Amino acid sequence: MAPRVLIIGASVGGATAAITLRGLGVETVLIEKELRKAKPCGGAVPPAAFREFDLPTHLIDRKVKNCLIVSPSGQETSVPVAGTVPTDDDYVAMVRREVFDGYLRERAQERGAEIIHAQLTGLEVTESGVRASYRSMADGSEHTISADVVIGADGAYSPTAKMLGLPALPRAVAIQERIALPDSQMARWEDTADLYLGAEVSPDLYAWAFPKKDHVTVGIGAGPGHTQRAKELLSNLKRRLGPALDGGQVILREAHALPMEPRKQMAFDRAMLIGDAAGLVVHTSGEGIYWAMKSGQLAAQVLGQHLDAPTAKNLHAYERIWWKEYGTMYQFLRFLQWWGYGNERQMEVFTEMCRNPDVQRLTFDSYMHKTMAPAPWGAQMKMTWDIIRAQARNYASH
């Protein structure tokens, strides 16, 4: 029997959509071309994802409790990972995508979704249904499959979006190395993650060192104008990290694109886009795992209500609910990227601002628990005053 929903891409977004659809009893098939290699990713996941998607904590390599932010001039700000009301649930989870994605795929299969190891090669959406062509990764044979609706969960290059006739999104590139370190060196990253700012490592985003079970991932993000320099920026970061990487061995170098803008439209007649395919990565952090899962869940819930009439008009509820819920946060974080990473002086101001305890708590409330509660009046005044002082100090000294 033909599935009702076909999902292209069985990574975090696609697998979550499939789990949700199976929960609603909907016949679901996923097409995934890459079941062996992990998606290139820093693997930082907020606790909200573990709570909201009922994920076991054995998927976590390390719980980061402290973030070190290093400005272009080497000014350091150490930020405890804690929200306004500190709890045991305050951490940034570090996961390896091969483990994390593998678990979600298995869960989707256990709930009855089928995963076809194949590459999507063609897509036709008509009034009466969806017909996709794919090439088996096992033996190269060509097949077709029909369904009522397609969900594009196929990442930043989204072939589904392309086959729907949509333009490519502006993209950044992120490149990273997994570096295995001697135990004595790993102690430095027991529960700490580093963020580095500066034109020599990341002109418009940031660079990172994230600890995993037995290695550190060291990487940089480079916006659309700087992607050609990605390897050079990564070398600069490794030079900057210097002795902290002594004795390290590169076990993997990996790179992938990050969408830099959400799509204007995410729901169409018989088709929906989620996660990176819809451009749902937040700007300041490049965070996309939680958002791919959340959009996969919401798209599936909306689709579950309209399977018998999956028109753009009905499926539009997905977009409407999404932007009502998260629009302000996306806009704020986009502004923050523009403001904080705009040039090196602003990066200095940003690093200094991160010393303000209210900024720290609000940042981690919004990252860890996905809540954006307004700060009390007194805290807002103090933050504003600290920004003015930091701006004045950094601009007067140049």
Ligand X SMILES: Cc1cc2nc3c(=O)[nH]c(=O)nc-3n(C[C@H](O)[C@H](O)[C@H](O)COP(=O)(O)OP(=O)(O)OC[C@H]3O[C@@H](n4cnc5c(N)ncnc54)[C@H](O)[C@@H]3O)c2cc1C
Which residues contribute to the site for ligand X (CB under 6 A)?
Answer: 8-9, 11-14, 31-34, 39-44, 119-120, 153-155, 159, 174, 176, 219, 256, 258, 275-277, 281, 286-290, 292
C-alpha triplet 150, 152, 154: angle, nearest 5°: 145
Nearest CB to ligand X, comparing residues 272 and 281:
281
CB of 362 to ligand X, least distance (A): 19
Select 22 or 349, whichever has its Cβ closest to ligand X: 22
Min dist. Cβ of residue 261 to ligand X (A):
13
Question: In angstroms, what is the minimal distance from the CB of 172 to ligand X?
Answer: 8
Tokens read off for 348: 């200095």
Asked whether 64 and 92 are in contact (CB, 8 A), the reply is: yes
Q: What is the number of other CB atoms lying within 10 angstroms of the CB of residue 78?
A: 13
End-to-end Cα spacing for the chain: 69
Residue number with CB closer to ligand X (166 or 349): 166
Between β-strands 192-198 and 66-70, what pairing exists: parallel, antiparallel or unpaired?
A: parallel
**Closest separation in Å from C-beta 13 to ligand X:** 3
Across 127-153, b (16+ Cβ under 10 Å) vs e yields: eebbbbbbbebeeeeeeebebbbbbbb
**Spatial distance between the Cα atoms of 73 and 344, rounded to a whole number of angstroms:** 9
Q: How far apart are CA 385 and CA 362, in angstroms?
A: 16
Nearest to 208 by CA among 237, 244, 182, 235: 237
Say if residue 25 is exposed, middle or buried (CB neighbours under 10 Å; 0-12, 13-18, 19+).
exposed
Q: Which is nearer to ligand X, 211 or 219 (CB)?
A: 219
Work out how close the CB of 286 gets to ligand X at its nearest, in angstroms, rounded to a whole number: 5
Q: What are phi and psi of 162, to 5 degrees?
A: -60, -45
Q: Residue 198 — left, alpha, or beta (φ > 0 → left; ψ -120 to 50 → alpha)?
A: left
Distance of CA 243 to the CA centre of its chain: 29
All residues at 6 or more sequence positions from 301 whose CB lies less than 8 Å from its CB, including other chains? 20, 24
CA atoms within 13 A of residue 116's CA, in its CB half-sphere: 23
Decide whether 34 or 358 has the Cβ nearer to ligand X. 34
Q: Which residue, 162 or 355, has its beta carbon nearer to ligand X? A: 162
* CB of 3 or CB of 219, closer to ligand X: 219
| Smallest distance from ligand X to CB 31, Å | 5
Q: CB of residue 393 vs ligand X: minimum separation in angstroms?
A: 31
State which residue, 220 or 349, has the beta carbon closest to ligand X. 220
| Smallest distance from ligand X to CB 221, Å | 7
Task: Report the residue number whose CB is nearest to ligand X.
Answer: 288
- Provide, rounded to whole angstroms, the least separation between the CB of residue 39 and ligand X: 4
Q: What is the DSSP letter of 354?
A: T
Residue number, 13 or 340, with CB nearest to ligand X: 13
Please give the structure tokens belonging to residue 259: 């969408």
